[in-house]
Amino acid sequence: MATFLFPSSFRCDCGHQIDFFENTVREMRELSAKRAKPQTIGDDAKHGVEFLRGQAVAVLCPKKGRCVIDDQE
């Protein structure tokens, strides 16, 4: 299970940590609350975070695939 690290980071099952600015995560939550399809942001290591209905729901890993986030704020 992937993990949310307060205030704006995520840790994948493979151990990779994805760090974003707090504003970026807040804007993605707001955008995903308005859209029906999942929204994704990523980093240089090909990892991404999937947002749906205003929540971060999964980390997209090139090695392990889609890892559901178990911790939410």
Over residues 1-44, the pLDDT tens digits come to: 888 998 899 999 999 999 999 999 999 999 999 999 999 999 88
pLDDT band of residue 45 (cuts 50, 70, 90) is: confident
pLDDT of 72 above 70? no
CA distance 13 to 73: 19
pLDDT band of residue 71 (cuts 50, 70, 90) is: low
How many other CB atoms sit within 10 Å of the CB of residue 28?
20
DSSP, res 43: -
Q: What per-residue confidence (pLDDT) applies to 39?
A: 94
Q: pTM for this structure?
A: 0.87
Nearest to 4 by CA among 25, 30, 35, 33: 25
Domain ranges of the chain: 3-68
